[in-house]
Structure 1
Amino acid sequence: MSAESRAGAADQLDARDEELLGLLRECHEALDPMPGSVVERSLFALALQDLDAEVFRLAERYELEPAGARGEEARVVTFDSDSLTVMIRIHPQDRVVRVDGWLAPPQPCRVELRTGGRVISTGVDEEGRFVLDQVPRGLAQLVVRRGEPMTGSAEQSILTPAIVL
């Protein structure tokens, strides 16, 4: 359908049509609302289109001891790829989380955590350890950028699938 055809059809709607379409939208939103994570997942997918990267596979996931006042459990998640393994421990802290991570084999690089519209970066120390503190809860994705800490390099990045923090 051409842009002219679409514009012509919109011009033919009157106030009653607009009212009926509004009622239809309200019914649809009440009976079949859009899941809250659709927008975030879509943004992650779009971000991946421009990224030439290796992808981590989920290797292991388990719950640990209860943590914090809400009794939530800390979680440990391990991802691996052909060249690198990353293990993260997610510590709930009220409305945010702390992510402690370890890379094997250890190497100088930068780790980014993408969550919503925000990117949090940190360097990895010589033992492969990194910490991301005060991370908002929600859908997130880790990206390991190989090379110098905090600057990255031309080497291929490795990213995790989206996880819920």
Structure 2
Amino acid sequence: MHKDVNPAAPPLRRIGAVGIIRDYDGRVLLVDPAYKDGWILPGGGAHANEFPHVAVTREVQEEVGLELYPARLLVVDYVPENEADDVREGLTFVFDMGSVGADTPKLINSHELTGVQWVLRDDLPEVTVPAQERRIREALRVVEGTGTVHYLVNGERVCVNGSRRPIT
């Protein structure tokens, strides 16, 4: 055991679970949260002792009314603490939730969200923040078979030794 970690009081971290949902034209479903800037993938925080794949299923149903189940894990994104935005350090699991017709989703959770839209990959920079755009692009690479499951830090790929590789 490391001397700097107290096993009786480990650090608190958030566990997020979000899903890539595509329509049959390849667009990605994004939601507009009332509590932060930029459009994001549907999903949210896991409850205590809730598996991430269960959390994404619950959150997608709560937010957009779709009963979808994750087909596979696409990326794991470490999100460092951001005191300016009051965000605690955590891990976000991004799952492939499959494809549905473009007319399928509806905004269900109007207390947290202000909208739902389908977005083309090329339009991501105009609707979401850079870290979210990078996370979505990396996940889409895995969905499309041009990439493999990656560990990310704030949306950017990292090597096992911790150095960052450029995103192409």
TM range (shorter): under 0.3
Greater Rg by CA: 1
TM-score for both structures, normalised by structure 2: 0.23
> Comparing both chains, which one has the higher relative contact order based on Cα–Cα distances under 8 Å and sequence gaps of 6 or more?
2
Q: Which structure dedicates a bigger proportion of its chain to strand?
A: 1
TM-score for both structures, normalised by structure 1: 0.23
